[in-house]
Structure 1
Amino acid sequence: MVDRGLLYREWVQNRTVLVMVGLFLAAVNPFEVLNTYLVYQGCLDTPEAYCNFYVNSLESGMLNLNWAPAVILAVCLFGLERTKGTIDTLFSLPYSRAQVFHTKFWLGAAVITGAQVIGYGLAELLILLLKPERVYFFHHYSVGEIIVSVLAFTLVASAGCLTGNTFAQLLTAFAVSIAPYLIITLPLSNVEVIFGVSMYELMPSVEAYLKVNNLFQYLNPIMYIDTDWVSASKYILLIPAVMSIVFYAIGYFCYVRQPVERNGRFFLWRQLDRPIQIVVIIIAVLGFGLAGYSTGHTMTGYVAGMIVGGAIGFLVSYFVIYKKTKHV
């Protein structure tokens, strides 16, 4: 499944990124606990100050950035070789594409998961030694960040298996991260404008509408950048876990069957160019239509926005999708 020779090759080629990502993910959790303790000690030195030593993971300014190193690692493992034009050399080695994919994927996943597990253990040890008065959301948030960072890695990695350069990889990953909004919410918002009816009016109650809306937002992978999922439900993390499995399967299928001759193009499959361009134009029409309507709440502005959106969508999609990126 994971070949030792390939593993060594990936380590030599990406060791700087792997080490930096591992160190950051392993250090960020214990650093936050230690920093909280140092702030508490500084408070004790302030006369007549009320000091309270507690650990609240939701107040962490760095833990919620754990997805960023995962994105960087996915680009390095699954995107840069196409941009550099060295993917042909990799595929000429005596290994199957499945072996190459699994080696890259599990190396990245192991670094992301293993480093955060180490950081989680070190932070737990610091909590036991420093004995804060209260600990809020530590376990749930730490485990959740591991799942979220794996989701980010699998999403960007699968996008890299579908596209021919790093720009296309990141743009595709971003589009997928908000796909439920683009596919469902955006058209429904246009329906509201055209027919003059709000979606919540079709629901049994406003509370039911808000509940459905709150659950729906967690189908957008980008929502896990925020920390609202921590207080939403302990089962909400099942959604990113399932999405990670789906993205892994998509990435594996695309990597094994990818046409190498399309490297540098936006999509590795020519058959995707026209359908995706049409989708981009439709999204631009709907999005700019809403923007035009919001300026004066008139149908004239709505139609004008749709016309502008159609033109912009066509031009952007044409030059982005059909222009080949040169190797660097």
Structure 2
Amino acid sequence: MVDRGLLYREWKQNQVVILLSIVFLVLANPLMVYHSYSISQACLAHYSDPKFCAFTLNYHINSKIQFNWMIGIVLAVCLMGLERSKGTMDFLLSLPYKRSQIFQTKFWLGAVVIVFSQLVGFLFAWLLILILKPEQVNFFEHGSIGVIITSFMFYTLVMAAGALAGNVFAQLLTAFATSVLPYLIIALPFYNLEIISGIQAWKLLPNIEYYYDFENNLMDFAPIVYVDSGWVLDSKYLLLIPAVMSLLFYFIGFVSFKKHHNERNGYFFLWKKLDRPIQILVIMLGILGFGIMGHSVGKSIVGYIIGMITGGVVGFLVSYFSIYKKVRH
């Protein structure tokens, strides 16, 4: 599964990034606790009434640990995308290792850093809470464990994108597009139908609350929504969605890395058969998206048509120069 020689090679090549990631992830949660405590103590130094300086921890309001997902992206880029862009992946694949071994070693090295570093940080934060005794703690367990799950999800997403893409830019763009794609595929056609038919969707439902519930439930399947810590206020079972998506992204990344023998150095996608379908999808999304923008500006069907034409041209140019233009190492 994980080869020791490969593990040592990945460690030596990414040692600085891994160590900095561990330090950040371990300290993020306890530092958040201590920062809140310091603010309350500074407040008490200026105000005698303690009710204005309550020491509370709210993991759903500007929680600093919600930025831990960025570390997952950095690790995935270093372990996969930079190897593609530098051309060192070709040398790695020429070594007497199976492709499955290479992917598993890379993947689980980053996964262990992300999960166990945050678990250690959770333990330190829990000990600090026992020592400092805040007056109120909201969503500590749910928020902390949830951040571990969501940061792991973003890591698996970017790793899967790296297994499909030929350079760092393609990896990040593919990951970002995937993070918003579930919403765009349904929402954009939905809004365009509203413009064409002239009937607002919420009027077809018995209550406007059903419409907003539909939108909110749809966004739960878009990974980008978990960037913000607002999901903490929802049901604890909501975290099953990013957990399942993590498994899906892992499977896609593993199969893609194992099966795509042609590296196509410098091209957007390693698998040539993806080029045309993705280009068509980008053009369609451009047409629908710019159509909505044109209608919102002109408030007329003429503005809608002009926006669609513009979106088609922009979508074609962006997809053509991104997907078919070869990037030199």
Same fold (TM over 0.5): yes
Matches for 1:61-76 after TM superposition, within 5 Å: 61-76=63-78
Comparing 278-287 with 260-269, greater Cα deviation is found at 260-269
Q: Select 2:176's aligned residue among 162, 174, 184.
A: 174
For the 8 Å contact 1:177–1:220, the answer to whether it is kept is yes
Q: Which moved more, 1:75-84 or 1:255-264?
A: 255-264
- Contact 2:262–2:271 (8 Å) recurs in 1: no
Change (3 A) 1:47 1:276: closer
* Equivalent residues in 2 for 1:52-63, closer than 5 Å: 52-63=54-65
Displacement of 1:53 in angstroms is 1.2
What's the offset of the Cα at 1:14? 0.6
Answer with 259-268 or 170-179: which moved more.
259-268
Q: SS at 1:135's partner residue?
A: strand
User: What's the Cα RMSD here?
Assistant: 1.1
CA separation in 2, counterparts of 1:190 and 1:64? Answer: 34
Q: In the alignment, which of 239, 244, 247 is matched to residue 245 of structure 1?
A: 247
Flag as ranges the 4+ runs of structure 1 deviating above 6 A. none
**What is residue 17 of structure 2 aligned with on the other side?**
17
Find the residue that maps to 1:79 and give its secondary structure: helix
- Could you tell me which residue of structure 1 aligns to residue 230 of structure 2? 228
Provide, for residues 139-183 of structure 1, a one-character-per-residue CA deviation record: whole Å limited to 9, x for no partner.
100000000000000000000000100000000000000011221
Matched, 1:132 2:152: no
CA displacement at 1:228 relative to structure 2: 1.6
How many residue pairs were aligned? Answer: 327
* Superposition deviation, residue 245 in structure 1: 0.3
- 2 CA distance for matches of 1:214 and 1:272? 30
SS of corresponding position for 2:57: strand
Unaligned runs of 5+ in 1: none
Q: Distance in 2 between matches of 1:325 and 1:74?
A: 20
- Contact 1:265–1:325 (CA under 8 A) maintained in structure 2: yes
Aligned to 1:213: 215
Alignment of 1:117 onto 2:119: yes
Counterpart residue type for residue 197 of structure 1: I
Amino acid paired to 2:268: F
CA displacement at 1:202 relative to structure 2: 2.6
* Number of the residue aligned with 2:145: 143
On the 8 A contact 1:58/1:227 being kept in 2, the answer is yes
Deviation at 1:213, TM superposition (A): 1.6
- 1:316 deviates by 1.1
Which amino acid counterpart does residue 257 of structure 2 have in structure 1?
Answer: Y
Aligned partner of 1:254 in structure 2 is 256
Residue 28 of structure 2 contacts residue 121 of structure 2 at CA under 8 Å; is this kept in 1?
A: yes
> 2:57–2:136: 8 Å Cα contact kept in structure 1?
yes
Q: Which amino acid aligns with 2:17?
A: V
Matched residues in 2 for 1:37 and 1:99: separation?
Answer: 46
Q: 1:101, 1:194 → 2: CA distance?
A: 47
Question: Corresponding residue for 2:201?
Answer: 199
Percent identity of the aligned residues? 54
Q: Deviations over 1:70-95 (max 9, x none)?
A: 10000001111110011111011111
TM (normalized to structure 2)? 0.97
Is structure 2 residue 287 aligned with structure 1 residue 298? no
Rounded Cα–Cα distance in structure 1 between residues aligned with 2:96 and 2:83: 18
1:40 maps to: 40
Aligned position for 1:92: 94
Q: Which residue of 1 aligns with 2:80?
A: 78
In the alignment, residue 19 of structure 1 is paired with which amino acid?
L
Q: CA deviation at 1:54?
A: 1.3
For the residues of structure 2 that align with 1:325 and 1:45, how far apart are their CA atoms? 58
Amino acid at match of 1:14: N
Kept in 2: contact 1:32–1:60 (CA 8 A):
no
Q: Alpha-carbon deviations, 1:267-315, whole Å to 9, x = none?
A: 0011111111111111111111100000131000000001111111111
Does the 8 A contact of 2:54 with 2:135 survive in 1?
A: yes
TM-score (norm 1): 0.97
**Higher mean C-alpha displacement, 203-212 vs 228-237:** 203-212
Instruction: Using the TM superposition, give the Cα deviation of residue 60 of structure 1 relative to its aligned residue in structure 2, in angstroms.
Output: 4.0
Q: Distance in 2 between matches of 1:273 and 1:60?
A: 40
